[in-house]
Amino acid sequence: MSERVIKDVYFDGNGCLTERVEMDGQEIIIHYEDIPETDKTVVGGIPVTTALRTVIDMAPEVDRATLERMLHGALARKQFTVEEAWARLAERDMATRPGAEILRRMLPR
């Protein structure tokens, strides 16, 4: 079994408990939060958040230029549409989420 070494524990830009750990020489960031099933997907057999949820979650953690590249890249690759983004941002759990507020200011209408 791999040894898990906790490097840091903190609250991220969305207020979620987060751990930075190292396993087998690989740094892993773990966020502890209840995530709705609609924000989950599987890529290569690994459970992850959807591209839209990842952009929302990363918004307060990266600079504006990086966030713009993430947003435009996801839209260009059709990982989600502007309409889908606005619909998700209108849901109740996104009302006060810092990342959602940042994305609302950047997303085209």
For residue 90, CA distances in Å to 31, 45, 96, 100 come to: 23, 30, 10, 9
- For all residues of the chain together, what is the average pLDDT? 95
* pLDDT of 1 above 80: no
Residue tagged 């898990």 (tokens): 4
Q: 2 and 18 share a domain?
A: yes
Q: 72 and 49 share a domain?
A: yes
Q: 87 and 104 share a domain?
A: yes
* pLDDT of 108 above 90: no
Number of domains in the chain: 2
Q: 42 and 74 share a domain?
A: yes
Of 98 and 31, the one with more pLDDT: 98
**Where in the sequence is the domain holding 12, given as residue range(s)?**
1-33
pLDDT digits (tens, 9 = 90+) for 9-52: 999 999 999 999 999 999 999 989 999 999 999 999 999 999 99
Q: Percent of the chain at pLDDT above 70?
A: 99
Q: What pLDDT does residue 96 have?
A: 94
* pLDDT of 109 above 90: no
Strand ranges of the sheet holding 4-11, from the earlier edge strand across to the other edge: 4-11, 17-23, 26-32
Q: 62 and 92 share a domain?
A: yes
Residue tagged 């713009």 (tokens): 68
Q: 43 and 95 share a domain?
A: yes
